[in-house]
């Protein structure tokens, strides 16, 4: 029976892998008109960004939902995107518009987001059993606070600086710095390894906090460690391409329904594949169907917002 179940999971991952590979090849080769080198160079940079963001977003969101014991909560929904806007505005306000060209400043941006987000998430998740809608309300209030502070600073900025800042506050896979991608790749590899090493304990933690404690896991220490990994992963993804609020929520919840297990090794692999599949297919639609009249972030936010409301209504109606 166990062998049959494992084969079923393997078959699901194989189907998902082939589907993702097919979409990636279509994205790379469609309408290249013989100019393969230019097309692959241009689209290859985007694909590398999709892979990095897909890995970081899926791993961090699935882990965050496990330690929060809730499939509705994600770092972005609890105010991380507004925090990113605030930090970007602060850096522009203090250092000017040229700061993003410096890798040192990029990592300073990441460090600030990690420090503040660890404090934010650990505070929100400190009390066990908090009501979902209360946590969502707290996240909304914090997001409003961060946005108000950002708006206050933006009003005092030079208009030219403000225009340049606006370009940094929306998710974009087209303007990713290749040099930053190469610097981030080693960190991403280490994070992926650490998430996979934490998978067995995450499987136990999913049973409940009391069960995890009874089975010998130091839950407080383990959650702090995971919060650091989550914050670093989300900070890197957000600093690279900008905020995408609902990507993690969509990927995590579809992953739970697709793979049908709570073993985090399978969840991580499936989530990463689904994330890349959604991003690449979404970008393909934006470029080839909508002819760049919209952006990938708008498509994700619109569909993700509808999906989030639908899940909330189902939960409130007692169907979930």
pLDDT tens, residue by residue, 282-317: 888 888 887 777 778 888 888 888 888 888 777 665
pLDDT at 61: 92
List CB contacts of 175: < 8 A, sequence separation 6 or more: 167
Nearest of 82, 84, 105, 110 to residue 95 by alpha carbon: 105
- In angstroms, the CA 27 to CA 25 distance is 5
- In angstroms, the CA 14 to CA 227 distance is 31
Q: What rounded mean pLDDT belongs to the chain?
A: 80
Query: Which is more confidently placed, 35 or 12?
Result: 12
- 175 in helix, strand or coil? coil
Residue whose structure tokens are 């919209």: 294
pLDDT tens-digit readout, 171-189? 677 667 777 788 889 999 9
pLDDT tens-digit readout, 229-281? 988 898 888 888 878 878 888 999 999 888 877 889 999 999 999 999 999 99
Q: Are 75 and 230 in contact (CB under 8 A)?
A: yes
- In angstroms, the CA 65 to CA 235 distance is 17
- In angstroms, the CA 44 to CA 229 distance is 27
- In angstroms, the CA 149 to CA 106 distance is 21
Task: Please say if the pLDDT value at position 100 is more than 60.
Answer: no
């Amino acid at each position: 029976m166990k062998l049959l179940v494992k084969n079923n999971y393997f078959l699901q991952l194989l189907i998902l892998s082939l589907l993702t590979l097919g979409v990636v090849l279509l994205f790379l080769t469609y309408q290249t008109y013989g100019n393969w080198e230019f097309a692959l160079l241009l689209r290859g940079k985007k694909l590398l960004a999709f892979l990095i963001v897909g890995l970081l977003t899926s791993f961090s969101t699935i882990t965050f939902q496990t330690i929060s014991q809730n499939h509705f909560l994600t770092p972005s929904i609890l105010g991380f995107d507004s925090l990113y806007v605030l930090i970007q505005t602060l850096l522009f306000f203090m250092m000017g518009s040229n700061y993003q060209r410096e890798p040192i400043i990029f990592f300073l941006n990441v460090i600030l987001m990690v420090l503040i987000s660890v404090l934010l998430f650990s505070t929100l998740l400190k009390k066990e059993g908090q009501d979902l809608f209360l946590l969502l309300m707290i996240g909304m209030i914090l997001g409003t606070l961060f946005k108000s502070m950002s708006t206050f600073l933006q009003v005092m900025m030079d208009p030219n600086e403000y225009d340049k800042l606006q370009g940094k506050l929306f998710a974009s896979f087209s303007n990713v710095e290749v040099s930053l991608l190469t610097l981030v790749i080693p960190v991403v590899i280490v994070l992926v390894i650490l998430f996979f090493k934490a998978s067995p304990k995450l499987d136990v933690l999913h049973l409940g906090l009391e069960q995890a404690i009874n089975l010998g896991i130091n839950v407080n220490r383990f959650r702090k460690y995971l919060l650091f990994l989550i914050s670093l992963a989300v900070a890197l993804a957000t600093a690279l391409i900008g905020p995408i609020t609902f990507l993690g929520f969509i990927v995590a919840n579809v992953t739970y329904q697709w793979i049908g297990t709570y073993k985090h090794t399978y969840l991580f692999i499936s989530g990463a594949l689904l994330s890349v599949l959604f991003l690449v297919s979404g970008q393909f639609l934006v470029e080839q169907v909508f002819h760049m009249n919209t952006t990938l972030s708008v498509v994700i936010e619109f569909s993700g917002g509808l999906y989030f409301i639908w899940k909330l209504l189902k939960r409130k109606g007692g169907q979930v």
